[in-house]
Amino acid sequence: MGYEVRTEVYEGPFDLLLRLIAAQEVDVWEVRISEIVDAFVAETRRLGAIDLEVATEFLVIAATLLELKCRRLLPGRDDVELEEELALLEARDYLLARLVEARTFQGAAQALSRLERAASRSTARRAGPDERFERCAPDLLAGVTPEDLLAAACRALAARPAPRVPTEHLPDEEVSVQDAIDELVATLPGRGPVTFRALTTSASPAHLVASFLALLELYKRELVELEQLSTFGDLTVTWKAPSAALQAGS
Amino acid sequence: MSPLPAEWRALAGAVEAVLVVATEPVPPRMLAELLELPVEQVEQLCAALAAAYEEEERGFEIVRVAGGYRLQSHPAYQGYVERFVLDDSPQRLSPAAMETLAIIAYKQPISRAQIAAIRGVSSEGVVRLLAGRGYVEPVGRDQGPGQAVLFGTTALFLERLGLDSVADLPPLGQFVPDSAAVEELEHVLRLRGEE
Amino acid sequence: MSPLPAEWRALAGAVEAVLVVATEPVPPRMLAELLELPVEQVEQLCAALAAAYEEEERGFEIVRVAGGYRLQSHPAYQGYVERFVLDDSPQRLSPAAMETLAIIAYKQPISRAQIAAIRGVSSEGVVRLLAGRGYVEPVGRDQGPGQAVLFGTTALFLERLGLDSVADLPPLGQFVPDSAAVEELEHVLRLRGEE
């Protein structure tokens, strides 16, 4: 099964914050951020999984709150740079706008619930035409065979495979950086300066990446010299160590 | 106002409310239980209501059919209703309706929620259409919580498909793969298609 | 008799006959074609008929919902109807699902990402639930990069809420927190030294 977190019960960080503000009726000075974090952690535990989007959104809010609170705890504002102050005001406006929006839709949702409740006090007539009118309507099953029905059943029952990330475009080959290092160490010595492009003419993208990482590793070990004359220009590789140094170095 | 005694108006309203939502004729005994009245009184009430509709030249009438009372269109407006039924009807089953009918045929008895779970979308409108055309009908209620209405296919459905019983439907057998197998199958088909 | 003009009785009868056999709300345009009347006159007729039912304390009523007219049981007789039809209506929506539904209703067409931005959480599961219930459906694709699927509400949504169209949703403006509430929120976020 695909990765899925049930978030129908958990109503989101804005809601949490709104409820907290409503419950405490205090300003950020008195908001206990540890309580918010505890509530969030408890909720996550209850759900048994972490939704990265939820967690990220929560972090943004918690961090903004924390920052606002730090400012309030600071003795004065002389030491606060104007730019920082502006950034903070921006963060506050952002949070405020989103809280207002969240509360607006909470109100709208309640109104929709009321409409639904009112509407559910009536039941629609669904009886349809009686047998006297049977022959008026065209026979929808005209020409339909049991085989058509079987095909439709197969379509319906097979129609919804679990959501998945298609991976068939990814090559199956496994390329390790170590393999690429071994390859380079086998080819480079005694070859003189050579471009990376020439070294990897027929390499697959995965192989190319592994070779590049291998090259960086060799450079770090001071076994090769790299030279690139212009941005995005050709990368020239020169072997500089005797092959014995490699064994000693690794 | 109607020629109904005033003190009967509330009871008549209850009868009207029940008949308007009923999809099958309602036995007088059932109305009697709901209204907490003797059966004879219910029958008098329904007769009076039917007479009132007739006198008021309503577009609907109350008839006694198949052991119960039913609200139906008045024969005087037959022409309008025929044209409406004709205009309102699709000429053939949509793929969605066909799939829903197939699910009901093969998985009966089945609830709307179970059909929706298989199709991934609500099938309420489609089930209504199929029931309206007499191809499927309520056959019972789920024993579980909610007691959902369960649907099955009708004799008319079998007749139209030329089958003796649902057991004569082509076997679904090998076509009931679990979702993993379906996925695998789709995967293979997709790869083949790309070659 | 009903407060309906006598010369309208035959036309009203036709409307009654059609509504009694309809399984979906009947658009006024369709009634106008059947009755060979201008749409406005059909609307007047239906409004007069609905008023007459109300005055006569009938057990049923005519309502304008999801773009058409529908015959339904009157709320006053809900108790009888409930005992008669076992409740088959789906479970109530959770507050989170209702909130998402409200966002889609007011902001349609809207993508999952836009919904998530307003709610502050991923809405994938909730949107799927709402689509499964038949309340929302994909209505198109965003023109921008990624071509995100855009969602909108369905006719079933309107029927379930008893609305004629989305234009009849209560104005969103009335739910915006008042200045005192906004001030309270702002107070929470206020910087030291600005007091």
Using an 8 Å CB-CB cutoff, list chain B residues near C88: 112, 146, 148-149
| A124 in contact with B, Cβ within 8 Å | yes
Q: Are residues C99 and C75 in the same domain?
A: no
- In this structure, is residue B118 part of a structural domain? yes
Does residue A219 surpass a pLDDT of 60? Answer: yes
Q: Are residues C34 and C116 in the same domain?
A: no
What domain count does chain C have?
Answer: 2
- In this structure, is residue C146 part of a structural domain? yes
pLDDT in tens, C19-64: 999 989 999 999 999 999 999 999 999 999 999 999 999 999 999 9
Higher-pLDDT residue of A192 and B151 is: B151
- In this structure, is residue C179 part of a structural domain? yes
Higher-pLDDT residue of C180 and B35 is: B35
DSSP state of C146: T
Q: Are A31 and A20 in contact (CB under 8 A)?
A: yes
Q: Which domain holds residue B73?
A: 6-83
Nearest by CB to B183, which of A139, A154, A161? A161
Does residue C149 surpass a pLDDT of 80? Answer: yes
- In this structure, is residue B89 part of a structural domain? no
Chains contacting A with at least 3 CB pairs below 8 Å?
Answer: B, C
Nearest by CB to B85, which of A137, A155, A159? A137
ipTM: 0.79
What is the pLDDT, as a whole number, of residue C156?
92
| Contact assignment for B175 to A146 by CB distance below 8 Å | no
- In this structure, is residue B128 part of a structural domain? yes
What is the pLDDT, as a whole number, of residue A117?
92
DSSP string, A199-211: HTTT--HHHHHHH
Using an 8 Å CB-CB cutoff, list chain B residues near A168: 187, 190-191
Using an 8 Å CB-CB cutoff, list chain B residues near C26: 84
What is the pLDDT, as a whole number, of residue A202?
80
Q: Are residues C153 and C76 in the same domain?
A: no
Decide which of C83, C105, C138 is a domain's last residue.
Answer: C83
What is the pLDDT confidence band of residue C194, given thresholds at 50, 70 and 90? very low
Alpha-carbon gap, residue C15 to B59, rounded angstroms: 7
Residue of A nearest to C172 (CA): A108
Nearest by CB to A146, which of B73, B170, B186? B170
Decide which of C51, C83, C115 is a domain's last residue.
Answer: C83
Q: Are residues C99 and C183 in the same domain?
A: yes
Q: Are C126 and C100 in contact (CB under 8 A)?
A: yes
Rounded to two decimals, what is the model's pTM? 0.67
Using an 8 Å CB-CB cutoff, list chain B residues near A140: 89-93, 97, 133, 135
- In this structure, is residue B28 part of a structural domain? yes
Least confident of A234-243, B15-24, C2-11, C183-192: C183-192
Alpha-carbon gap, residue A32 to A27, rounded angstroms: 10
What is the pLDDT confidence band of residue A53, given thresholds at 50, 70 and 90? low
- Residue to substitute from C9, C34, C80, interface B, most B β-carbons within 10 A: C80
Q: Are residues B119 and B57 in the same domain?
A: no
Q: Are residues B71 and B106 in the same domain?
A: no
Q: Are residues B75 and B99 in the same domain?
A: no
| Contact assignment for B16 to C59 by CB distance below 8 Å | yes
At residue B154, φ and ψ (nearest 5 deg) are: -105, 175
What is the pLDDT, as a whole number, of residue C62?
97
Nearest by CB to C21, which of A68, A113, A133? A133
Does residue C151 surpass a pLDDT of 90? Answer: yes
- In this structure, is residue C90 part of a structural domain? no
| Contact assignment for B20 to C59 by CB distance below 8 Å | yes
- In this structure, is residue C57 part of a structural domain? yes
Q: In chain A, positions 64-83, which contact chain C (CB-CB < 8 Å)?
A: 68, 71-74, 76-77
CATH of the domain at C104: 1.10.10.10
Alpha-carbon gap, residue C121 to C127, rounded angstroms: 12
Q: In chain C, positions 162-191, which contact chain A (CB-CB < 8 Å)?
A: 162-163, 169-170, 172, 174-177, 181-182, 184-191
What is the pLDDT, as a whole number, of residue B192?
40
Q: Are C38 and C8 in contact (CB under 8 A)?
A: no
Decide which of C26, C56, C83 is a domain's last residue.
Answer: C83
A-B CB pairs within 8 A amount to 133
- Average pLDDT, stretch C139-148? 85
Q: Are residues B130 and B181 in the same domain?
A: yes
DSSP string, C51-70: HHHHHTT-SEEEEEETTEEE
Q: Are residues B62 and B127 in the same domain?
A: no
Q: Are residues C150 and C181 in the same domain?
A: yes
Q: Are residues C112 and C79 in the same domain?
A: no
Q: Tell me which H or E stretch contains B110.
A: strand B110-111
Q: Are residues C103 and C68 in the same domain?
A: no
Nearest by CB to A7, which of C74, C122, C181? C122
Q: What is the mean pLDDT of each successive set of 10 residues along chain B, which is 195 residues long? A: 69 96 93 94 95 95 94 96 87 88 93 84 83 88 79 92 89 60 48 39
pLDDT in tens, A150-183: 888 888 887 555 544 545 455 455 677 888 888 8
| CA A212, A217, A223, A229 torsion-angle sign | positive
| Contact assignment for A158 to B175 by CB distance below 8 Å | yes
